[in-house]
Chains A and B, each alone.
Chain A
Amino acid sequence: MPEFLLPFGPFHIVLLHLPIGVLAAILFVEVFLRDKDDRKLPALGMLYFLFVLTTAFAIGSGLIYEKSGKFGDEVEDHERWGFIFGACALVTYVLSWVRRKKKNPGVLAVYVVALIATTGAMVVTGHLGGELVHGKGFLTKGFKSDERPAPPPPKESSSNEPPQTSTTVSSGVTPSVLANSERMDSQVMTIAAVDPKVALFNAAHAVLERNCFECHGATKQKGDYRVDSAEAIMTVGRGRKEPVVAGDPNASELYYRILLPADDDDVMPPSKKPRLSPQAIEAVHDWIAAGAYWPTQAELDAAKGSHSNVGTPATDKAIATINQTGAKAEYNAWGDGSVRVDLGVVFPEQLGTALQAIGSLKSELIWLDCSKLKLPNGFFNGVTRFENLERLHLDGTNVTDTDLAALGQLPKLKYLNLYDTQVSDQGLATIEQLYGLEKLFLSGTKVSEPAVESLRRNRPEIDVVYRK
């Protein structure tokens, strides 16, 4: 669609009334000049011409208006009915001519049916369009009782919480006591640097970002309301009710709307979209209850720096160095700062550099993939420093039976892949002594079937994957 047309989109709101008026005139003429064909038919001819013309303008401008993106998916029903209405209008126009030329009752009947269908389609289209602009249920709102449905019972407010919670905190126990394991402890301490108000905001903002921004953000502002900045979220939209009352969720229209039952006309997100989870609703509630504080960019940046980092700067540096050699190092997606290194994809001439770089990792390395590499002497001595190593891929490497002895120093080793290697029964005897092992791959090796059977018998907890 050419750009220059876009400004004409809003004219849809004006143009759409013309076919409505003309259709009303047609109906009027049809009904009140029933037996005066000599006066009626010429008048109708003109009216029909005007009807089709204005309908075309209304539909055209509507399609342009849709491109503005101001309305979302809800516009689709209106659009579909608009096309149906347009088709009906055309058919009725043609039939009105047929009827003028051929005076027979059959044609007249078909014409009347078409005219009624057109009127019906117009009512539906118009109503759907009206709901887009004025909100769902706008037509009948005046008839319903003025009282709004009471919001669902508010969740337990902060005032009647079990008292021991507050005593725990205010009696001078440091947050670390609340944590029940060492790992949790370190996390709490890391977050402790974040302003709690910012943390509350982050939780609520994540909910808004995921569920509301699409229609109340930069690209669309349904109901003339948007939630993507501190000022905007407080600014009253077309709903004429204060969206967010700092400190009082139950007086905030935003909170009221997300609590409404799924079939309510006013519910947010709208009926067709997924409901918010109880946790998400709670996050919004707590943020508003705590004063709906919207941090400045500087505060957000500060918070970001202090808690989003998995791992340490030293590990970051090692990862960067390793990745320059073509090998792939990264934090595991488990959020625990552990590292995986895929050495198999290293540029062959840089294997030495990569191995050296891996040497700067230690306990954080828990997954090492050496598939298809020609490992240099001393590799297995070096590997023993990774005391937390859990997964080791040696498939397709030059690993020998004697090399495997070093693995005894890896107490956490769970997964060992020896597919397509020269390992034989002798190596299997060493493996039998690896006590943490849970999964072992032996296909394509020199081990014998009886030896595998004996390993399976002696260490039934190991899942041995083997075929001749």
Chain B
Amino acid sequence: MYNELNKLDELSRRKFMQYSAKALLGVGLASTSANPLLAATGGIRPTARNVIYLYLSGGISHIDTFDPKPDWDQQGPVETIATNVDGVQFSSYLPQLAKRMNHLALVRSMHSNQGAHEPGTYFMHTSYTQRGTIKHPGLGAWLTSMSGRTNSTLPGNVRIGGSNNAPGGAGFLNAKYDPLHLGSPDDGLPYVDRHHSVDDNEMRERLAIAEMMDLSFHKHYSSKKVNAYNDVYSDAIRLMNSKDLAAFDLNNEPQSVRKTYGESKFGKGCLLARRLVEHGVRFVEVTSGGWDTHDDNHQRVEELTAPMDQSIAALLDDLYYRGLLDETLVVIATEFGRSPEINSNSGRNHHPSAFSCALAGGGIQGGQVYGSTDERGGSVVENRVTIPDFNATIAYSLGLPLEKVVYSPSGRPFTVADKGQPVTALF
């Protein structure tokens, strides 16, 4: 080996070490599980395994919540309160979260270039802007496809509330990475029980018949898509027989715990998310709707934040005391903020150029604020974080290989968070 090395010119010899190391550490073609960034930043070992992604759909007003501007004359009626971290202030709509700021890494310098709901939501979930020609995968699909499921009988990717075909599904990846959608947390997982007249044997017979009927079709059309559907069916059967089905049933949770999360749909969704993560579901998205406050912003934000504040605070506490917060990254995300100026309907309009998102758990250093906005909350003045950067940070905490190029069926190259760079200062 050493002789081989000597034959090379000077440059190659010197660079050889350097680049071999780079290749080894995952920049090269053959990288699989090694994460180059971990090596580069020297020994940070993010511990996130799971993600609870809380999506405030419609665009939450950052000025009235996480990034208050008491000196701005269009701040509106809300007061500013201190949090349990020195120098960090929230609006008085978030009294419970203010007491848990020590868990949060608040990013006040989010920046998007998509000012409408659908493209904004798409961008937030996939790191790519919407295109007619391709569907990009969401983070949950990236996670389960790259790192696998923890619980082999439960789905790896679940979405609670919101719409079934909202962006951020499997995209061009295999259909089996699509999130399982639960419309209402109260209903748990519907249609999972066998019909009462079907016993074990009957079930087995029926499955055998179905398989027999499929056999010739599969022989003739053994395409990826056909196989993917087959996987979806067998996953469903495994799920029906899972010992962990109880995870979906909120009735198994003591009243005292249910009370802390509150009676709102979002609160129940958060509780269900905790139960699922506890049972090895890796990515759970919970949607809270109605944040599009074009009219009557102040009253509506006040009404919307009350249950949101309670539920997220309860979730953080619950995860923290159970020891789940270390390995569960809680993400508070939205598609954009709202304008500093109050419009003629006493509402606020869409405002993608500056807004706030937050992270907690999963190896994140709580109690810090990253980035800031100007005196009216209108634009980012320090440490701008783009949507791909934010998603790269999530992926980084999960140890996903950010550099790994995955090709769509049409041969186009894509990566987890496009070209986003993780904000390592948050760890």
State yes or no: do A and B come from one complex.
Answer: yes
**B26 and A335 within 8 A (CB):** yes
- A196 in contact with B12 (CB, 8 Å): yes
Partner of A203 from B4, B19, B34 at Cβ < 8 Å: B19
CA distance A159 to B2 in the complex (A): 22
| In contact, B413 and A166 (Cβ under 8 angstroms) | no
* In contact, B19 and A214 (Cβ under 8 angstroms): no
Stretch of B104-112, B173-181, B261-269, B320-328 with 4 or more beta carbons under 8 angstroms from chain A: B320-328
Contacts of B152 in A (CB 8 A): 323, 326, 328, 345
A328 with B150: CB separation less than 8 A? yes
Is A283 in the interface zone, CB < 8 Å from B?
A: yes
| Whole-angstrom distance between the Cβ of B260 and the nearest chain A Cβ | 12
Contact present for B30 and A334 (CB under 8 Å): no
Whether A347 contacts B323 in the complex (CB less than 8 A), given A191-B21, A200-B15, A219-B411, comes out as no
- Majority DSSP secondary structure for residues of A touching B: mixed
The reply to whether A439 and B20 form a contact with Cβ atoms under 8 Å apart is: no
The minimal Cβ–Cβ distance linking B155 to chain A, given in whole angstroms, is 13
In the complex, what's the smallest C-beta–C-beta distance from B313 to chain A, in angstroms?
Answer: 14
Q: Which residues of B contact A274 (CB under 8 A)?
A: 419
Chain B 1-39 residues near chain A, CB threshold 8 A: 1-2, 4-6, 8-17, 19-35, 38-39
**Counting CB contacts under 8 A, is B151 at the interface?**
yes
Q: Are A161 and B10 in contact (CB under 8 A)?
A: yes
Stretch in B296-304, B335-343, B373-381, B399-407 touching the partner = B399-407
Chain A residue numbers with a CB within 8 Å of B38 are 333-335
Known contacts A166-B14, A200-B15, A214-B412; is-contact A467 B405 (Cβ 8 Å): no
Contact with A along B138-158 (1 / 0, CB 8 A): 000000000111111100000
> Given the complex, which residues of B lie within 8 Å of A206, measured CB to CB?
27-29, 403
Residues of B near A308 (CB, < 8 A) are: 24, 28, 30-32, 34
Does chain B have a CB within 8 A of A330?
yes
Asked if residues B24 and A307 are in contact (CB atoms below 8 Å), the reply is yes
- Would A465 and B13 be within 8 Å (CB), given that A187-B21, A217-B413 are in contact? no
- With A178-B17, A308-B30, A345-B151 in contact, is A419–B243 under 8 Å at CB? no
- Measured between alpha carbons, how far is A166 from B39 in the docked complex, in Å? 26
Q: Tell whether B398 is near chain A: CB-to-CB under 8 Å.
A: yes
User: CB-CB contacts of A263-304 with B at 8 A, as 1s and 0s?
Assistant: 000000000011000000001001001100000000010011
Q: Is the CB of B14 within 8 A of A161?
A: yes
Query: Does chain A have a CB within 8 A of B278?
Result: yes
CA–CA, A67 and B133, complex, Å: 8
* Contact, CB under 8 Å: A342 / B413: no
Q: CA A158 – CA B11 in complex, angstroms?
A: 5
Identity of the chain A residue whose Cβ is nearest the Cβ of B34 in the assembled complex: A335
B410 at the interface (CB under 8 A from A): yes
In the complex the two chains form, what is the Cα distance from A263 to B236 in whole Å? 53
Report A131 CB to chain B, min CB distance, Å: 21
Q: How many of chain A's residues have a CB under 8 angstroms from any CB in B?
A: 77
Q: Digitize A190-217: 1 where CB-to-B-CB distance is under 8 Å, 0 elsewhere.
A: 1111111101101101100110011001
Give the segment of A11-19, A169-177, A254-262 that binds chain B: A169-177
When the two chains form the complex, which single residue of A219, A334, A342, A419 contacts B321, counting CB atoms closer than 8 Å? A419
Residue contact A192 to B1, C-beta cutoff 8 Å: yes
A453 vs B420: C-alpha distance when bound (angstroms): 45
Cβ of B204 < 8 Å from any Cβ of A?
Answer: no
Q: Number of B interface residues, CB 8 Å?
A: 66
Contacts A158-B11, A289-B11 known; A199 to B133 CB distance under 8 Å?
no
Q: Which of B322, B323, B399, B419 is close to A334, meaning CB atoms less than 8 Å apart? A: B399
Check: A371 CB closer than 8 A to any chain B CB. Answer: yes
B185 interface residue (CB < 8 Å to A): no
Residue A417 interfacial (CB < 8 Å): yes
Q: State whether A219 and B412 are in contact (beta carbons under 8 Å apart), knowing that A165-B14, A274-B419, A335-B33 are contacts in the complex.
A: yes
Q: B415 within 8 Å of A by Cβ? A: yes
With both chains docked as a complex, state the minimum distance between the C-beta of B415 and any C-beta of chain A, in angstroms: 7
In this assembly, does A85 line the interface, its C-beta being within 8 Å of a C-beta of chain B? Answer: no
Contact A188 B243 (CB under 8 A): no
* The residue from B320, B399, B413 contacting A333, defined by CB atoms under 8 A apart: B399
B14 touches A200 (CB 8 A): no
**Contact for A307 among B11, B30, B320, B410, CB less than 8 A:** B30
Closest B residue to A203 by beta carbon equals B19
B361 proximal to A (CB < 8 A): no
A81 at the interface (CB under 8 A from B): no
- Say yes or no: A348-B14 contact (C-beta < 8 A), given A202-B19, A307-B30, A417-B323: no
CA distance A197 to B33 in the complex (A): 23
CB nearest to A415 among chain B residues: B326
Q: In the complex, what distance in Å separates the CA atom of A146 from the CA atom of B24?
A: 44
Residues of B within 8 A of A217 (CB): 411, 413
B166 → chain A closest CB, angstroms:
24
Residues of A within 8 A of B1 (CB): 192-193
Q: Which one of A196, A300, A348 has the greatest number of beta carbons of chain B within 10 Å?
A: A196
Cα–Cα distance between A303 and B149 once the two chains are bound (Å) = 29
Question: Contact at B28–A203, with CB atoms within 8 Å?
Answer: yes
Rounded to whole Å, the gap between the CB of A272 and the closest CB of chain B is 11
Q: Among the listed A169, A283, A307, which residue makes an inter-chain contact with B20, where contact means beta carbons less than 8 Å apart?
A: A307
Contact yes or no, B405 A439, CB < 8 A: no
Contact partners of A347 in chain B: CB under 8 A: 243
- B169 beta carbon closer than 8 Å to chain A: no
Q: In the assembled complex, which residues on chain B have CB atoms less than 8 Å from the CB atom of A309? A: 32
Instruction: Indicate if B45 sits at the interface (CB-CB under 8 A).
Output: yes
Q: How far is the CB of A181 from chain B (nearest CB, A)?
A: 12
Tell me, yes or no, whether A230 is within 8 Å of chain B by CB.
Answer: no
Q: Which residues of B contact A465 (CB under 8 A)?
A: 320-321, 323
CA distance A188 to B22 in the complex (A): 11
Contact with B along A423-461 (1 / 0, CB 8 A): 000000000000000010101100000000000000000
Is A333 in contact with B29, judged by CB distance below 8 angstroms? no
* A67–B22 alpha-carbon span in the complex (Å): 38
- Taking a contact as CB atoms under 8 Å apart, the answer to whether A290 and B11 are in contact is yes
Task: Tell me which residues across on chain B come within 8 A of A161, comparing CB atoms.
Answer: 10-11, 14
**Residues of B close to A290: CB separation below 8 A:** 8-9, 11-12, 15
Binding site for B on A (CB under 8 A): 67, 69, 158-159, 161, 165-166, 169-170, 174-175, 178, 187-188, 190-197, 199-200, 202-203, 205-206, 209-210, 213-214, 217-219, 273-274, 283, 286, 289-290, 300, 303-304, 307-310, 323, 326, 328, 330-335, 342, 344-345, 347-348, 371, 391, 393, 395, 415, 417, 419-420, 439, 441, 443-444, 465-467
- For the complex with contacts A67-B133, A344-B280, 18 further pairs of A-B residues with Cβ separation under 8 Å are A165-B10, A165-B14, A196-B5, A196-B8, A197-B12, A202-B23, A203-B22, A205-B29, A206-B28, A206-B403, A210-B403, A217-B413, A290-B15, A332-B45, A333-B399, A342-B150, A342-B280, A419-B323
Residue contacts A-B, CB under 8 angstroms, 5 given = A69-B133, A187-B21, A202-B28, A328-B148, A344-B280
List residues of B whose CB falls within 8 A of some A CB: 1-2, 4-6, 8-17, 19-35, 38-39, 45-47, 133, 147-153, 243-244, 278-280, 320-323, 326, 398-400, 403, 405, 410-413, 415, 419
